[in-house]
A and B are shown apart, each in its own frame.
Chain A
Amino acid sequence: MERVQTPLAGSVPETTFASAAVRTASQESFAELLAAHWTHAYRFAYYLTGNAHDSEDLLQQAAEEAFRAFHRFQPGTRFDRWLFRIMHNSFVDRLRRERRRKIFSLDDVSGAAVMDPTAGPSEVAEGALDGPVLRALRALPPDARAVVALVDLQGLPYDAAAEILRCPIGTVRSRLHRARLALREWLRPYVDALQRGEL
């Protein structure tokens, strides 16, 4: 993700802190940084949670936690990575608490949960490919999903993903490899169609 260097003040909504009695410099600074990285942060939240409601909820929680800890943020470092790390921690905590989602094992590559039998390459050609790909992404275990979201979907380098996920770069690579192998099996018809040049 390229760093946003443009003036950020204009990107903050005018009514941002209209309801607050005091507009502190800290709030203004935080709002500008958050606005600059808002879209990428939302995408990461969406890839983690899999739906718009939960992703907005997760991002809201992460933003509040980040603001409370904003005095510990070091100016000059990457705000997006710092925010992503807080958000990923919130996501992991949320998963542990709720235990709502069924976590699939990478070794259990059935593909039944993610493959839509009615969807074929013709549908893919019509632009509906993101459906099965995102379904397959949601079927990955959370740690593998986070790596794929950061590296393949957000385009971050390995070292950034390692910094966000607080793991060695080698772990990023091995998780990414296992995730791609699982996605290969789950998305086999699309992989074959792509290799035949039909996509």
Chain B
Amino acid sequence: MILHLSHELTGYLDGTLTAEEASGVAAHLAECTECRVALDDLRAVRSLLRTVPPILPHPAALSRTLSRIALVETRRTVPRWLIAVATMAAGIGLLLQLRVPTAPPQGTRVSPLWYFQQQAEFAAAHPMADVTLTSYLSSALPYETFPEWPAAQKR
């Protein structure tokens, strides 16, 4: 039984086979009428395809396309991995109730607001913590923090 050539014929027709492959195909063609007919058919098909006249675009098509491109914003979208990492970091921060520490004012004179702000933030983040409850119940103020307060000056 003769094994006929397949896509080797197309490669042979287009001259894309190696020299060794091409000589093998040529040897087969010398003996096989069926493959020679197939090769002639493929050559005719290729010739038919080459008779298709060149198709030209509409003269205004390029200008239209370039005008639209001019309006295209060259914005670069945020990579998805960056969105995922940022979301994960925010989620972890929320779960662990991490607080961004507020830097205390520099100098000897400390704004009283800073102390209450710290307390309020901590109480909001840890509503049932012992320290929070103690803070609620305690009327004692850290006078050393507010040396200018009248209560501290009395001491």
Q: A30-B69, A158-B14 are in contact. List 18 more A-B contacts (CB 8 A).
A: A12-B66, A16-B70, A17-B70, A18-B67, A19-B71, A23-B70, A31-B66, A34-B65, A59-B61, A67-B72, A68-B72, A70-B74, A137-B49, A158-B16, A173-B7, A180-B46, A194-B47, A195-B44
Q: Which of A13, A52, A133, A157 contacts B62 (CB 8 A)?
A: A13
Q: How far is the CA of A31 from the CA of B71 in the complex (A)?
A: 13
Interface status of B53 (Cβ within 8 A of chain A): yes
The number of chain A residues with a CB under 8 A from chain B is: 57
B30-70: CB near A (< 8 Å → 1, else 0) gives 00000000001110111111111111111001111111111
Interface of B is mostly: helix
**B55 near A67: Cβ-Cβ < 8 Å:** no
Residues of A whose CB lies within 8 Å of any CB of B are 12-13, 15-20, 23-24, 26-27, 30-31, 34-35, 38-39, 42-43, 46, 52, 56, 59-60, 63-64, 67-68, 70-71, 129-130, 133-134, 137, 148, 151-153, 157-158, 169, 173-174, 176-178, 180-181, 183-184, 187, 190-191, 194-195
Min CB–CB distance A19 → chain B (angstroms): 6
Residue pairs across A and B with Cβ atoms less than 8 A apart, 13 shown, are A20-B71, A31-B66, A39-B57, A64-B69, A71-B76, A133-B48, A133-B51, A153-B50, A176-B7, A176-B14, A180-B10, A180-B45, A191-B45
Interface of A is mostly: helix
Q: How far is the CA of A157 from the CA of B14 in the complex (A)?
A: 9
Q: Which of A52, A64, A133, A151 contacts B58 (CB 8 A)?
A: A52
Interface status of B11 (Cβ within 8 A of chain A): yes
**B49 near A133: Cβ-Cβ < 8 Å:** yes
Q: Which of B7, B45, B71 contacts A184 (CB 8 A)?
A: B45
With a cutoff of 8 Å between Cβ atoms, the chain B residues found around residue A130 in the complex are 51-53
